[in-house]
A = this chain, B = another copy of it.
Amino acid sequence: MAKKVLKFGGTSVGTIERILHVAKIIKKENDAGNEVIAVVSAMSGKTNELLKQSKTISEDFDKRELDVLLASGEQVTSALLAGALIKFGINSKSWLNWQIPILTEGENSNARIINMSTSSINKFLSEKGVAIIPGFQGISKVGDITTIGRGGSDATAVAIAKIFDADLCEIYTDVDGVYSTDPNKIPVAKKIDKISYDEMLELSSLGAKVMQSSAVQTAMMYNIPLEVKSTFTARQGTKIFDQDSIDYTKSVTGVAYSKDDAKITLVGVQDKPGVAANIFEPLSKNQINVDMVIQNISSDQKTTDITFTIKREDLLKTIEILKSNKTIQYESLNHNDKVSKISIVGAGMVSTPGITYRMFRSLADEKINILAISTSEIKLSVIISEDDTLKAIKKLHTVFDLD
């Protein structure tokens, strides 16, 4: 007997038929004697529909009222799922966030869960009841409805798992786990059975969007075991653990990539303290998200080259900001709007010598030119020409024994 938090995403509850299917998954857990709290998203498409309505009224729709509006989506799913469970003879009840309550802090549309009351739900669970909780929302100290950002149902599930001291938090979604690379692009991509929080973070922020990154971070912080699995198959998913609990047989766990990137290089930047801040502060103020940053040691000790990547859609705006920036001096500005980032990720990398060399050699063998390199403890990323993306992923997937 275990205490489990099960989270069902928008596609998992996208139709009445699917909600009935989810109810059957929960019934199975309940029949097995497990205590279950289910966290649900809005039915797929619902949040976008509500957002569109608000934007028709005003592009700058009031944030407090937007949260009241959006919160209705998960409320609907919660009631429908509780009703479906009751139909199947399970004692079930929806608990809206103000009924628990789930307290949040921070501004509307971007709040954080800080606490919640557990006594009445725990009592209900101990009587074999299944509690259904709408994800993505809470209430503020003054009693307003708040939401915690897109994808926030993952964060709700992990926070609930933490506060209720659950044994496991299962994230049900429309894919059956985390893959060694994009299965739509590389047919030999393999489902990963076990992965560490760190690796998951690197993979999810790089495009394997099966779970919200900040929810993974919270799970890592409190060591809450996660499992990502499909609502639509009975197959085992991907278990996400603490790094120490995983026995690494492979040095590289997966190959991730991000598309639609652009690269900018400032050549001959005057190398003095504060120059990087002067370059990136105006970009940040204009909501331009900078991904990789690489600065080479200057050979003449006076100038340096700074390369960084941004989303392709931000390229023109970024160039404009850089050119009008009087606080920096440089010789020239190069840019390339047809690049992509390929990363190999693996907690085993740090203890395996030669990974870097093998990556560069494999790419060279394929005549793929590396435009920039960036490394961390569990990740090695390179910027290459966009046209080489698929070739690079395939090669690395094979070289690191992931096929």
Contact = CB atoms under 8 A, between A and B. Distances in A.
Q: 4 smallest A-B Cβ distances: which pairs? A: A69-B79, A68-B79, A72-B72, A58-B87
Contacts of A54: 79-80, 83
Contacts of A68: 75, 78-79, 82, 94, 96
A71 B145 CA distance: 15
Contact of A83 (B16, B58, B96): B58
A16 B62 contact: no
Nearest to A86: B62
Nearest to A52: B16
B16 A57 contact: yes
A61 interface: yes
Contacts of A62: 82-83, 86-87
Given A56-B16, A58-B87, A75 B72 contact: yes
A353 B19 CA distance: 65
15 contacts: A20-B57, A50-B76, A57-B80, A58-B86, A60-B87, A62-B87, A65-B79, A65-B80, A68-B75, A68-B79, A68-B82, A71-B75, A72-B79, A98-B98, A99-B143
A66 interface: yes
| Copies of this chain per assembly | 2
Contacts of A50: 76
Interface string A40-51: 000000000010
Q: Majority SS of interface residues in chain A?
A: helix
Contact of A75 (B56, B60, B75, B83): B75
A90 to B, nearest CB: 11
A193 to B, nearest CB: 35
Interface in A118-171: 143-145
B76 A64 contact: no
Interface string A14-54: 00100110000000000000000000000000000010011
Given A72-B72, A72-B76, A143-B99, A65 B53 contact: no
A110 to B, nearest CB: 17
Interface in A186-206: none
A309 B144 CA distance: 51
Nearest to A120: B143
Contacts of A87: 57-58, 60-62
Contacts of A56: 16
Contacts of A75: 68-69, 71-72, 75
A61 B83 CA distance: 6
A84 interface: yes
A239 interface: no
A400 to B, nearest CB: 47
A93 interface: yes
A384 to B, nearest CB: 46
A285 to B, nearest CB: 27
Nearest to A93: B64
